[in-house]
Amino acid sequence: MNILKFAGVAIATLAISTSALAQQAFTIQIDGSSTVFPLAEAVAESFQQQTSGRVRVTVGESGTGGGFRKFCRGETHISNASRPISASEMATCRAAGIQYVEIPVAFDALTVVVHPSNPLRSITTAQLRRIWEPEAQGRINNWRQVDPSFPDLALSLYGPGTASGTFDYFTEAVNGRSRASRSDYTPSEDDNVIVQGVASNQGAMGYFGLAYYEENRSRLRALSVDSGNGPVEPSVANAENGTYAPLSRPMFIYINAAALRRPQVQQFAQYFINNAARYAQQVDYVPLPASAYQTYLQRAQRRQQGTAFGGRQAIGVTIAEVIARPLVVEPVQQ
Amino acid sequence: MKKNLLTKAALAVLATAAGATAAHAQSAPAAPAPTHSTSWTGTVGEDRFGDARFKMRGRFQYDVLSSELDFGGLPTTDENGTRSYVRRAFLGVQGRLTENWRYKVDFILAPSATSITVDDAFLEYVGDDWSLVIGEHNITSPLEDRISSLDIPFMERSSIYSVAGFGRRAGVGVIFGGANWSASGAVQGDSVNSAETSFANNEELNVSGRFTFAPIFETSPEGTQLLHFGVSARQRNAGGTQAFTYEARPLNGRGGRPLSVSGVGDGGESDTTYGVELAGQYGPFGLTAEYIVLNGETLTNGEEFEYSGYYVDLSWSLTGESRSYRGNQGSFGAIVPRRPLGTDGGYGHLALAGRYDYIDMTDAGIGLATDTLGEQTAYAIGLDWIPVDHVRFKLNYAHSEIDYANPGDGADGEATIISLRSQFDF
């Protein structure tokens, strides 16, 4: 009797579940960097049109760190990143059986913005550090404290949250140590919140990818950055020619290597690489040379695993340097 | 004497590690003052201050079972009834003092004990791809013992695990792990929960090791493909007058044990156990099989005996999830539902599982009246439901047949148990 009851429950459950598991369109799950988001979103939209909805693509923007957390749990097919995968993320992915193919997709000029009424036109990296270093917390509250020539305005800061790759990159490039930052600023993983904050506050400063500045030029002013060779304005051209240093940086997609065996994911990866230059220009990022995309297309087709960065940040690298680096699968010691 | 040496070795390791940490701290650049924060990444908030971490943890398993146990005329009374009880209630803490020094203690609140007992209770030094564990732990146990009681496929572990007495002991262990392999070794004494108080007796001594390798291990959002092999060995010596017991329940967490070798006379003085493991996963389909053989010597007259057993599990996730494998530990973790109940029309994780389980304890000891030798063959089927992460319901049906080796032990026995477990953890 008991056995019969049990069998009944089991069969009923089975029936319910199999009928509920009706065929659905294959969905490629992407998450990660909000800096890469506009590019990935543009590619995804166009790809879905091309395949007339047979393959769905969803793109999230929970930040580079947040994206890798999901990616290394096997929840996403592709992770967008505005910095290379870190050593600890490599270890997490490794223990979960997740191998990945690293594709640099474009370059960005990390842009420092202020309110358009601010008379300032350029800033040195040392001045940036004086504003953003952990020691500035609660102490540097007026522009004039940074430099006597700066306006007498209360300083209010906006920036990406700690799950952001932009945060990781900016803190290492400016403050000298990744993730070392004052924390008394308004953080958001959504760059539009930073745009809104800086645009509505006279004494505000913020930072994010060039695409978000270009989209909001009328409401913001971008500062030229002087790292010792005179002020250089953030632009596609200056990121390309390597003069906008150290705030030019590569952006990546990381593709789950096992998922690349699926025709839908392979097709999307190839579409992304083949069209990265076009959409990068469209959203104001810097495309890589055509030969680089050719190399990365082969990398995706052959599912060549690993990272060219060994789990470390790449501050101030040029496009040519990124392309020349070999792949490794273990973190490289300092 | 042995224990003395062990203690000295452990202290030496601690001293070296502490020295290295101190030297490192002196040369490190001055870091900004750490800030305090609370992070909710799972089901419980974790306090963070610089590199330090601290969080509470706990689990609760409540079982309802209906049993028909016919022991076949043994002195043990038949057990037919419906009961409910708390199988496990743990409350513990977990954290890290620095990036490398970590700890974990789970206090056992139920099954009730007269004094406070612990499950895991250890200090761990974590290196790049290795860690040193000091305290009550089971890092060298074979596969099923390395899977948390929260994540095992059936309500109880396989019968041979009870017979061989796998579980936690106090001592020192080290585990190395790569993407798809692990190697561990340990020297352990008694469990810290042991009530042995006679200082005239030496403590139990265990020396053990395990190696795992997964030639295929690949995960994507569509699932995991895995092929896992493992081998393990353990040698133990009972030390004082307490002898090892060898016994198992018929796939049940409570009640009588039809096959049992125990007591001062027949119990083991020393034994050696070897185990082999095979596990595979292909998307929603899983397979696990283990074979374990134990060779021992009785305490009183040094008589040799051999017991063995194996089990084969098959599982099928109706909702598509794979079991989550940890390559650097060679074990399985929690299954997280793809679509939890109440989100996106999901109803959590549902799985069917089947088990065949066999133990051979026919090899004669000296045959005191208190011992019952024989074979136990069991099968079980289970339905598993994880509506949301950290909540799980298990419905198990288990049937066992017991074939006694000595006619004097009575007619053959039979046991049928239907049980339902409700559990949560944080």
From chain A, pick out residues whose CB is under 8 angstroms from the CB of B347: 17, 20
Q: Establish if B233 belongs to a structural domain.
A: yes
Q: Establish if B373 belongs to a structural domain.
A: yes
Is B352 near chain A, with CB under 8 Å?
Answer: yes
pLDDT of residue B23: 40
pLDDT tens per residue, range B233-282 = 999 998 876 788 899 998 888 888 888 887 655 667 889 999 999 999 99
What's the alpha-carbon Rg for chain B, to the nearest Å?
Answer: 23
B374-386/B79-96 β-pairing: unpaired
pLDDT of residue A213: 94
Is B352 in contact with A97 (Cβ distance < 8 A)?
no
CATH number of the domain to which B280 belongs: 2.40.160.10
Determine the Cα–Cα distance for residues B115 and A193; give it in Å rounded to an integer.
Answer: 56
Looking at per-residue pLDDT, the higher value among B232 and B238 belongs to: B232
pLDDT of residue B16: 43
Number of domains in chain B: 1
Determine the Cα–Cα distance for residues A75 and A29; give it in Å rounded to an integer.
Answer: 8
The lowest-confidence range among A149-158, B34-43, B133-142, B307-316 is: B34-43
Is A6 in contact with B325 (Cβ distance < 8 A)?
no
Is B35 near chain A, with CB under 8 Å?
Answer: yes
Is A20 near chain B, with CB under 8 Å?
Answer: yes
Is A180 in contact with B318 (Cβ distance < 8 A)?
no
pLDDT of residue B74: 64
Q: What string of DSSP letters covers B155-212? A: SS--HHHHHHT-S-EEEEEEEEE-SSEEEEEEEE-S-TT-----TTSPPPEEEEEEEE
Locate all alpha helices (DSSP H) within B297-405, ordered by sequence. none
Q: Establish if B102 belongs to a structural domain.
A: no
From chain B, pick out residues whose CB is under 8 angstroms from the CB of A99: 218
pLDDT tens per residue, range A239-265 = 888 899 899 999 999 999 999 999 999
What b/e sequence results for A211-223 when a residue is b if at least 16 CB atoms lie within 10 Å of its CB, and e otherwise? bbbbbbeeebbbb
Other CB atoms closer than 10 Å to residue A12's CB: what's the count?
Answer: 10
Best A99, A254, A329 residue to mutate vs chain B (most B CBs within 10 Å): A99
Other CB atoms closer than 10 Å to residue B113's CB: what's the count?
Answer: 11
Looking at per-residue pLDDT, the higher value among A204 and B196 belongs to: A204
Q: Establish if B234 belongs to a structural domain.
A: yes
pLDDT at A42 over 80: yes
B292 backbone dihedrals φ, ψ, rounded to 5°: -135, 135
What's the alpha-carbon Rg for chain A, to the nearest Å?
Answer: 22
Q: Establish if B222 belongs to a structural domain.
A: yes
Query: Mind telling me how many Å the CA of A77 is from chain B's nearest CA?
Result: 6
Is B326 in contact with A18 (Cβ distance < 8 A)?
no
Is A262 near chain B, with CB under 8 Å?
Answer: yes
Domain containing B243 equals 58-88+138-193+203-425
pLDDT tens per residue, range A87-123 = 999 999 998 999 999 999 999 999 999 999 999 999 9
Nearest CA in chain B to A88: B128
Closest by CA to B215, choosing from B225, B206, B205, B223, is B225
Are A213 and A111 in contact by the 8 Å Cβ rule? The answer is yes
Residue type, B266: D
Query: How many pairs of residues across A and B have Cβ atoms under 8 Å apart?
Result: 85
Q: Establish if B152 belongs to a structural domain.
A: yes
Start-to-end C-alpha separation, chain B: 42
Is B220 in contact with A18 (Cβ distance < 8 A)?
no
ipTM: 0.76
**HSE-up of residue A333 (Cα within 13 Å, Cβ side):** 1
**Residues sharing a CB contact under 8 Å with residue A333, sequence separation 6 or more, in sequence order:** none
Q: Establish if B372 belongs to a structural domain.
A: yes
Q: What string of DSSP letters covers A14-57? A: HHHHHHHT----EEEEEEE-TTTHHHHHHHHHHHHHHTTTSEEE
Is A17 in contact with B319 (Cβ distance < 8 A)?
yes
Are A83 and A167 in contact by the 8 Å Cβ rule? The answer is no
Which position has the token pair 């593709």?
A255
Nearest CA in chain B to A4: B397
B12 pLDDT band (50/70/90 cuts)? very low
User: What's the mean pLDDT in A259-272?
Assistant: 96
Determine the Cα–Cα distance for residues B37 and B96; give it in Å rounded to an integer.
Answer: 15
**Residues sharing a CB contact under 8 Å with residue B199, sequence separation 6 or more, in sequence order:** none
Is B319 in contact with A262 (Cβ distance < 8 A)?
no
- Closest partner residue to B221 (CB to CB) among A6, A13, A77 is A77
Residue type, A169: Y
Q: Establish if B130 belongs to a structural domain.
A: no
Which position has the token pair 């009681």?
B149
